[in-house]
Amino acid sequence: MPPTAKTSAPQRKTAPAPESAPAIEAAIADLETGSAVWSHLTLGQRARLLERVRATVVASAEEWALVSARTKGLDAAHPLVGEEWLGSPYGALVALDGYIATLDKLAKGASPLDGIALEEGPEGRVRVQAFPANATDKLLLSGFTGEVWLEPGVTAAQAVREAGLGQLSPAQPGGVGLVLGAGNQSSIPVLDVLYELVASNRVALLKVNPTQDELVPLFERALAPLIELGLLRIVTGGGDVGDYLTQHPGIDHVHITGAVSTFEAIVWGPSAGSGAAQTARRRAEGKPRLHKPITAELGGVSPIIVVPGKWTDADLAFQAEHAATMRLYNSGHNCIAAQIVVVSSDWEQRDAFLAALRDAYDRMPARPVWYPRADEKLAAAASDYPDARWNAERDRALVEIGTGGDAAAIETTEYFAPVLGVALLPGLGQEFLDTAVAHANDRLAGNLGANVMIDPVTEKALGGGFLRAIARLRYGSIAINTWTAFAYLNASLTWGGFPGATLDDVGSGIGVVHNTLLLDHVERSVVRGPFRPFPRSLSALGGRGIVSVLAKPPWFASSRTAAEVSEGFTRFQMDHDWVRFSRTILQSLRA
């Protein structure tokens, strides 16, 4: 897919100019010059530039993690501060290493897929074995794997030939892209800027979300090599600035990570107030307000499908903590936070699992509910489900929908807050899995990510039916016995909604990001983890399941050593100091 050049569509007048308009005009002018600079850099020079960015990110990493934590109400001693090590510098470093490796391969005339296994998948799909990419990945996250599935009909030869995206025609400029940054995770805007530059040869004007204004000086230091060459400019401001920029004739492309409502306001106009009637006319006539290409990642209602099997008490407790983590990580302020657990009403261990889930949800460490308007979302959940189970502070809700109960609100409203639902569906084995897949596809809002929990004995019994069910699950990321956030953190995988979205029916977004292998024709990413942690995972040595040396993944909110291990993982990504990392491994065994 070639980079997008300047649009030939007629340009409309820009929105009313904000006070910062003179600085914005200067920034766009700098970026137009920077676009020419980028188009004259060789692939090798681009790789060396990203190595310089890596060094400045390393120098900023500790401050980045701690400032990001502070903006969320966490001090340096909080047990969950490790989330900000993983969700900030770690993700950026993984992406930079991946892009550097890809650019080095292309500079030598090779494909980014050289040395990477390609396997056949269901219904003619090619499965790219993207993670682990090296021996270090295998050690750090033993037992975890990740594949990128390409669209049906794309051949392995085509995948190899077309991998590289914009770097296959590096001299062709992609213009100036506007990145409307997310406000919940501070690595998101950085990763989006890098993808614009590498995948599409677009220099970037980053407008940060107001929740991250405090991080702007840090971003400017961490990304200084890009700023020095005019490849990046950063601006702040509210909705008026964003509106002005999306309509600006100097912007060639828009990328947003945020809410569906924000996307629709950009594309069609306001849905309420004096402009609502004009917006409705635009939609009816199919004439969007936005006259330039847009890509987006927009979240949704993510399920956890619990496939019934014979689980031990330890399995029930571990997977219940897993489910609670998927909701409560970052106080539920994640586009990929799980929102509804789908459980078989016929499972003989249903009640035991739900009891373990209630216990795990209650015991997770307390933390601020910090995202703007989260109190309104919690109030909406309380109104939607007056019988929900709340904690003492009433900032964490568990909604159990009985058989035949009304799950419409929790299945169609992305609460973006600590609200977790449980829905019951009938069946066992393949029947349940097929029913749950259809339910997720047809009833839940969005299609960003879905999680599946299944024990190895049950998966083996399902045979090929299990993978066929995964193929029918229409989500951009699918996690089997892990969390889809694992796909987000490892940028060799792709991140975005399921293909097929349109401006009028956007789902969880258009296009993908991350994707350090620069693959074209992507359908989804599928990640796997071990059903059981160390040492119980050693039972898989007999051929059942996956072996892991992690006693508990560092992103588990219940991990006693999550802060130390997450920081240790990041520092190892920074400097590959094996002596220090050995201490991190010992800490992980105490999780």
Give me the residue spans of the domains in the chain. Answer: 299-452, 544-591
In angstroms, the Cα distances linking 176 to 226, 231, 503, 506 are 14, 9, 21, 23
Residue 369 CA from chain centroid, whole number: 20
Q: What is the DSSP string of 452-482?
A: EE--HHHHHHHTHHHHHHHHHS--SEEEESS
Which DSSP symbol is given to 24?
A: H
* Cα 128 from Cα 131, distance rounded (Å): 9
Q: Can you tell me the distance from the alpha carbon of 493 to that of 572, in angstroms, rounded to the nearest whole number?
A: 20
Residue 2: what pLDDT?
40
Q: What is the pLDDT of residue 557?
A: 87
Adjacent-strand bridge partners of 541: none
Average pLDDT of span 347-367: 97
CB neighbourhood size of 197 (10 A): 24
Q: Does domain 299-452 have CATH number 3.40.309.10?
A: yes
The structure tokens listed for 68 are 């990001």
Q: What is the mean pLDDT of the chain?
A: 93
Taking the C-alpha atoms of residue 293 and residue 472, their distance in angstroms, rounded to an integer, is 29
Would strands 253-257 and 294-297 be described as parallel, antiparallel, or unpaired? parallel
pLDDT digits (tens, 9 = 90+) for 373-412: 999 999 999 999 999 999 989 999 999 998 888 999 999 9
For position 1, what pLDDT does the model report?
44
User: How far, in Å, CA of 154 to CA of 31, rounded?
Assistant: 36
pLDDT band at 14 (very low <50, low <70, confident <90, very high): low
Q: How far is CA 378 from the centre of its chain?
A: 23
CA distance 103 to 99: 6
Which tokens go with 218?
């840090």
Which among 335, 363, 343 is positioned nearest to 483, based on CA atoms? 335
93 φψ region: left (φ > 0), alpha (ψ -120 to 50), beta (else): alpha
- pLDDT at res. 545: 66
Lowest mean pLDDT among 11-15, 132-136, 225-229, 254-258: 11-15
* Proportion of the chain above pLDDT 90, given as a percent: 82
Tokens of 121: 């998948």
Span 86-96, average pLDDT? 96
* pLDDT for the residue numbered 543: 60
Rounded to two decimals, the pTM is: 0.95
Bond prior to 79 in cis (omega within 30° of 0):
no
Structure tokens at 558: 């219940």
In angstroms, the Cα distances linking 138 to 89, 350, 397, 536, 551 are: 20, 34, 37, 19, 15
Q: What is the pLDDT of residues 410-433, one digit of tens each?
A: 999 999 999 999 999 999 999 999
| CA separation for the pair 546, 484 (Å, rounded) | 18
Cβ–Cβ < 8 Å for 304, 323: yes
pLDDT in tens, 204-253: 999 999 999 999 999 999 999 999 999 999 999 999 999 999 999 999 99
